[in-house]
Amino acid sequence: MISASNISFQYNTNSSFTFPDIQLSAGEELLILGKSGSGKTTLLNILAGLLAPQAGEVTIAGQNLYQLTGTKRDKFRGSHIGLVFQKPHILGPLTVRENLDLAQYFSGQKESSLIPKVLEELGIGEKINSQPQHLSEGEAQRVSIARAVVIRPKLILADEPTASLDDENAFKVISLLKDQARKLKAALIIVTHDQRVKDLILNHISMGGAS
């Protein structure tokens, strides 16, 4: 489903990152652990097609990501990759439902009945018409999982999804992510420095940082 090989990246002349190779099939999950500054977000952005690496290749569902032009890559991301960030980035003026409608619209996914279903599965079915500012942090993070999932992605990428959550919500968010990925048969990659997640995903690798 996703393979990344020989990826390296450099922001400036002083430090360069060489990232571990990744091979993940549909339905598999991977946790990438690394300290703050080790390049986790950089790697996730490269895997998401948001940041071109200096060297190496990223292939998702048979498509070499960086052989696509910028616009086509954006379109590919919109329909195949569900992104979950540390902060939920939900659009404030819109309701939960409208946020999810918008994600589906940009992905070309037309199965709108999926929206209440996924919210229900995530335990926030009654929040469908709520404004984002009326949600707790844990609920908002679940909405961002819903937004990633309602496009029926082949790959879910999550950047520090538990960083601002207490133990109970962190545990819930990881099990919900795993659960949704399993239902979609999507590959799931989580990058984090949060050691609490380690026991919840057995397949993990550690990142060293820049050299």
Ligand X SMILES: Nc1ncnc2c1ncn2[C@@H]1O[C@H](COP(=O)(O)OP(=O)(O)OP(=O)(O)O)[C@@H](O)[C@H]1O
Q: How many angstroms from the chain centroid is the CA of residue 17?
A: 21
Helix, strand, coil tally for the chain in percent (to 5) = 40, 20, 40
Indicate which single residue of 6, 11, 23, 112 sits in contact with ligand X (rule: CB under 6 A): 11
Letters for 83-122 (x = contact with ligand X by CB under 6 A, - = none) are ----------------------------------------
Cβ closer to ligand X: 134 or 198? 198
Distances (CA, A) of 181 to 25, 34, 73, 148: 12, 22, 22, 10
Cβ closer to ligand X: 75 or 193? 193
Cα R_g (the chain), whole angstroms: 17
Binding residues for ligand X, how many (CB under 6 A)? Answer: 10
Residues numbered 160-199 forming contacts with ligand X, rule: CB under 6 A:
193
Q: At closest approach, how far in Å is the CB of 44 from ligand X?
A: 8
Cβ closer to ligand X: 17 or 140? 17
- Residue by residue, what is the 3-state secondary structure of 9-24? EECCCCCEEECCCEEE
Cβ closer to ligand X: 46 or 151? 46
Q: At closest approach, how far in Å is the CB of 102 from ligand X?
A: 26
Q: At closest approach, how far in Å is the CB of 95 from ligand X?
A: 30
Cβ closer to ligand X: 85 or 106? 85
Cβ closer to ligand X: 116 or 208? 208
Q: How many angstroms from the chain centroid is the CA of residue 90?
A: 14
Strands 204-206 and 29-33: parallel
Q: Which alpha helices (DSSP H) does the chain contain, by range? A: 40-47, 70-80, 96-107, 114-121, 137-149, 167-184
Letters for 128-147 (x = contact with ligand X by CB under 6 A, - = none) are --------------------
Residues numbered 28-57 forming contacts with ligand X, rule: CB under 6 A:
34, 36-42
Residue 150's φ and ψ, nearest 5 degrees, are -70, -5
Q: By the criterion CB under 6 A, which residues form the site for ligand X? A: 11, 34, 36-42, 193
